[in-house]
Amino acid sequence: MKPESSQSARAWPVADLVITAALIALFTWALSSSMEWSVRAALFPRLVTTFGLAIALLHLVLLLVRRRSGTSADAGHGLVPISDPEDDPLDYAFSTAGRRAWTVSLAWIAAFFVGLYVLGVLVTAPLFTLAYLRLTVRASWRLSVAYAAVIGVLLYVVFELLLTVPTPDGVLF
Amino acid sequence: MGEALLSGLMQVLEPGTFVLMLLGVAIGFVVGILPGLGGPVTLALMLPFTFSMEPIEAFAFLLGMLVVTATTGDITSVLFGIPGEATSAAAALDGYPMTRRGESGRALGAVLFSSALGSLFGAAILALSIPVVRPVVLALSAPEFFALTLLGLTFVVTLSGSQVLKGFLMAAFGLFVALVGIDPQEGVPRYTFDQLYLWDGIGLIPLVIGLFGGAELLQLMLSKKSIAGGTDGVPAKVSGVGEGIRNTLTHWRVVLRASSIGALVGLIPGLGGSVAQFIAYGHARQASKNPEMFGKGAIDGVIASGANNNAKDGASLIPTIAFGIPGGASTAVLLSAFLIVGLNPGPEMLTTHLDVTFSMVWVVIIANAIAVAVAFMFLRPLTHLSFISGPLLVPFLLLLLGLGSYSSSNSFGDVFVMLGAAAIGVACLRWDWPRVPFLLAVVLGGIAERYLFLSYSLFGWSWLTRPIVLAVGALVLLVLLQPLVRRFRAAKKAPDQQKVGP
């Protein structure tokens, strides 16, 4: 999915502008920070950030100029052939999902990682599995409990007993 | 030499040694599939068990485990888009889109078969290079390694698709990320925000897991479909495996070139498999008749990743065995195994202990053959995972993401890095910015800085005039100028066509 490709020729490529501006700010800050270091420590960072800043400024200028002519910033400056790949038939859900779907999905992810930090993985993983399957997938109690149990046992047997790899302990456990 | 080759094989096939190798293969199989729990970590965990082993037994166990992680890491990349190993990230780029298209059987067939061929190639290079390796590696020094790193970075051009400028910007961002941490020259903390965790720099494993796996997981949650969401449910049988194998055979040139790149990069200490995979992938795209399909499910992209990933393992043993210079983290751990079993890397390994060296060649071949055969046997259940309802997989995949990122250094800092990388991955997919140049630059940034300083410290600025540096420099210019030349040709062709046309 290429959201920009479907926009009218003179619409502002807002996302590209915001990302480019953010990178300009980042490289400017990084370059100014490197001024406080000795030459040996700062040489490579200065090279990298100057290069990044130059490319970002060029991209910004091209975004603004190309907007007037209705082409992409990457097209027509001699770096690439002017061709946009066909839209991916598989498509990505990011541009089509609604605000509610985004909020719910991000909330579940946040819940998992907050749980990981507070309760540890051995408690969070089965609990999360049970809650997610019941509330989002609307799975049966039998499947949800079985899945949660398998996750818990697998986690304990593989990581704790067989591989003896340290797993995240929570703040509480 | 032939006698040592045969003796190496016979010793590997001894029942006790063979069983230990099978045990290593089994552990490597599981570890490879689990994201984050990388080969080096597992090698380090298993090292204490080799104290009482004979040299060949120890290497059959450890090396058998290590080479198999690369093969099975590709399976997770193809099925879930979450690289099982940092070195399997390139396999996700085209393997996962194929899975989403319902072609997981074909993708797995191709990646596994090309893995087997790649490992054969790597083992052959290891065996053949033993007599000639010394002068070749000694001819290279820090300036040449720096030039080769720059060459690796120029592959941003081919990895960015039609978004070259965005690709360069993402590469610059990646280089910036690589700068985070303690400066290797003077010990100055750079961009660390007074956080002790950042002194070691940004971990590659959580970054790779987040950049690829995090984004795909969120996509699965939003779409609520199975991974192969666009297809008509679970197939009655796993189809396309044979086609994948046939594709690998018809793309034998891709296998050969990707394996050669893997072997060459594996040979150079410090570059490692994370770099090799993207150089091979970039080259496969460059040489492909359908470069526009790369990133959307190009079979040659999958083949290049599989072959390269396994060829580099055999070759990376060369500097370790011949000079005691580890090519990467895994071989660094393996190097300690030499000391544990009482062997000294160096000329001894090429003379009195030649049979041990050749036994390693056989372990690379046999362990990979077993792993690929087992993977083919379990292909049906593995492939069916991609047809399970997406939301059902979410708890399992979230667990893999969390554990995978955490277990790389047992720190919650890595989990935050993974989440940050996932946000970058999502932004890249949502607004069409290329992810791979970013990752390539993160991998190469630290290496480039180290070799640049070494070159300057050893040779002043005269290193710029060394013949190999000049030759690689010319190659770098050629790669950078290629899009301009292509555009010039296209522009020249257009008026000609207009003249011919009606």
Asked if B433 and A48 come within 8 Å (Cβ–Cβ), the reply is: no
Q: What residue segments make up the domains of chain B, in order of their start?
A: 2-490
Residue bearing the bigger pLDDT, A134 or B151:
A134
Q: Mark residue B345 as left, alpha or beta (left: phi above 0; alpha: psi -120 to 50; beta: remaining).
A: beta
Residues B340-362 as b/e (b if ≥16 CB within 10 A, e otherwise) read bbebebeeebbeebbbbbbbbbb
Please indicate whether residue A6 or residue B18 has the higher confidence score (pLDDT): B18
For residue B469, which phi and psi values (nearest 5 degrees)?
A: -65, -45
Residue B129, token pair as written in the block: 């290079």
Please report which confidence band the pLDDT of residue A146 belongs to, taking 50, 70 and 90 as the band edges.
very high
- What is the distance between the alpha carbons of residues B20 and B490, in angstroms, rounded to a whole number? 59
Residue of B nearest to A102 (CA): B222
Confidence of residue A173 (pLDDT cuts 50, 70, 90): low
> Which one is predicted more confidently, A1 or B45?
B45
Residues B425, B287, B299, B390, Cα dihedral to 10°: 10
pLDDT at site B135: 66
Q: Which residues of A touch B176 (CB under 8 A)?
A: 26-27, 30, 45, 48-49, 52
Which residues are within 8 A (CB) of A64 and not within 5 positions of it... i.e. 6 or more apart? none
Residue A45 has pLDDT above 90, yes or no: yes
**Phi and psi, residue B300, nearest 5°:** -70, -30
Interface predicted TM-score (ipTM) of this complex, two decimals: 0.84
User: Residue B181 is inside which H or E element, if any?
Assistant: strand B181-182
**Considering only A9-18, A139-148, B41-50, B96-105, which range has the smallest mean pLDDT?**
B41-50
How far, in Å, are A4, B166, B492 from residue A72 at the CA level?
9, 11, 21
Residue A154 has pLDDT above 60, yes or no: yes
* A108 close to B (CB below 8 A): yes
Q: Between chains, do A163 and B445 touch, taking CB under 8 Å as contact? A: no
Instruction: Mutation target for A interface from B27, B150, B162: give the one with most A CBs within 10 A.
Output: B162
Read off the amino acid at residue A8.
S
Instruction: Look at residue B495 in the predicted model and tell me its pLDDT.
Output: 60
Give pLDDT, residue B226.
65
Check if A4 contacts B (Cβ < 8 Å). yes
| Cβ neighbours of A48 in B, within 8 Å | 172, 175-176, 179, 445
**CA Rg, chain A, in Å?**
24
User: What distance in Å separates the CA atoms of residue B375 and residue B71, rounded to the nearest whole number?
Assistant: 9
Alpha-carbon span B167 to A70, nearest angstrom: 21
Where are the alpha helices (H) located in B230-298, listed in sequence order?
241-250, 252-267, 273-287
**How far apart are alpha carbons B254 and B280 in whole angstroms?**
9
Contacts of B462 (CB under 8 A, 6+ apart): none
Q: Which residues from chain B sit within 8 angstroms of residue A108, using beta carbons?
A: 221, 394
- Residue B282 neighbours by CB under 8 Å, 6+ apart: B155, B158, B159
pLDDT value at position B292? 78
| Chain A nearest C-alpha distance from B175 (Å) | 7
| pLDDT of A89 strictly over 70 | no
Q: State how far the Cα of B401 lies from the Cα of B36, in Å rounded to an integer.
A: 8
What is the distance between the alpha carbons of residues B382 and B72, in angstroms, rounded to a whole number? 11
Residue A14 distance to chain B (closest CA, Å): 10
- Which long-range contacts link B395-399 to residues 24+ away (Cβ below 8 Å)? B395/A125, B395/A128, B395/A129, B395/A132, B395/A133, B395/A147, B395/A151, B396/A151, B397/B80, B397/B82, B397/B213, B397/B217, B397/B220, B398/A109, B398/A112, B398/A128, B398/B217, B399/A121, B399/A125, B399/A151, B399/A155
Gap between the Cα atoms of A117 and A111, Å rounded? 10
| Axis-axis angle for helices A121-132, B390-406 (nearest 10) | 170
Token pair for residue A110?
């946040």
Q: Give me the residue from B229, B396, B484 closest to A78, CB to CB.
A: B484
Tell whether A109 lies on the interface with B, counting CB pairs under 8 A.
yes
| Continuous H helices in B81-103 | 89-100
CB contact under 8 A, A79 and B487: yes
The alpha-helical segments, DSSP class H, found in chain A are 14-34, 39-69, 99-119, 121-132, 141-154
Q: Which residue of chain B comes nearest to A110, CA vs CA?
A: B419
Residues in chain B where the model's pLDDT stays below 50: 231-234, 236, 500-502
CB-CB contact of A102 with B222 (8 Å): yes
- Residue of higher predicted confidence among A55 and A66: A55
Side-chain-side CA neighbours of A166 within 13 Å: the count stands at 11
Q: Which residue has the tokens 């999902």?
A: A97
Report the C-alpha gap between B148 and B475 in whole angstroms. Answer: 10
Residue with tokens 């940034």: B445
pTM: 0.73
User: Which of B403, B430, B487 is facing A121, going by the closest CB pair?
Assistant: B403
CA–CA dist B235, B103 (Å, integer):
10
Across the interface, do A112 and B452 touch by the CB < 8 Å criterion? Answer: no
Q: Looking at residues A100-117, what average pLDDT do you find? A: 92
H or E element in which residue B139 lies: helix B133-139
Q: How many CB pairs under 8 A join A and B?
A: 206
Contact B162 A167 (CB under 8 A): no
Q: What is the DSSP string of A21-62?
A: HHHHHHHHHHHHHHTTS-HHHHHHHHHHHHHHHHHHHHHHHH
A50: contact with B, CB 8 A cutoff: no
B31 to chain A: nearest residue by CA? A163
Rounded Cα gap, residues B226 and A59, in angstroms: 38
Of A38, A73, A168, the CB nearest to B188: A38
CA quadruple B273, B246, B78, B18: dihedral, nearest 10: -60
Of A23, A41, A48, the CB nearest to B175: A48
Nearest to B222 among A93, A112, A158 (CB): A93
Q: Looking at beta carbons, which residues of chain A come within 8 Å of B437? A: none
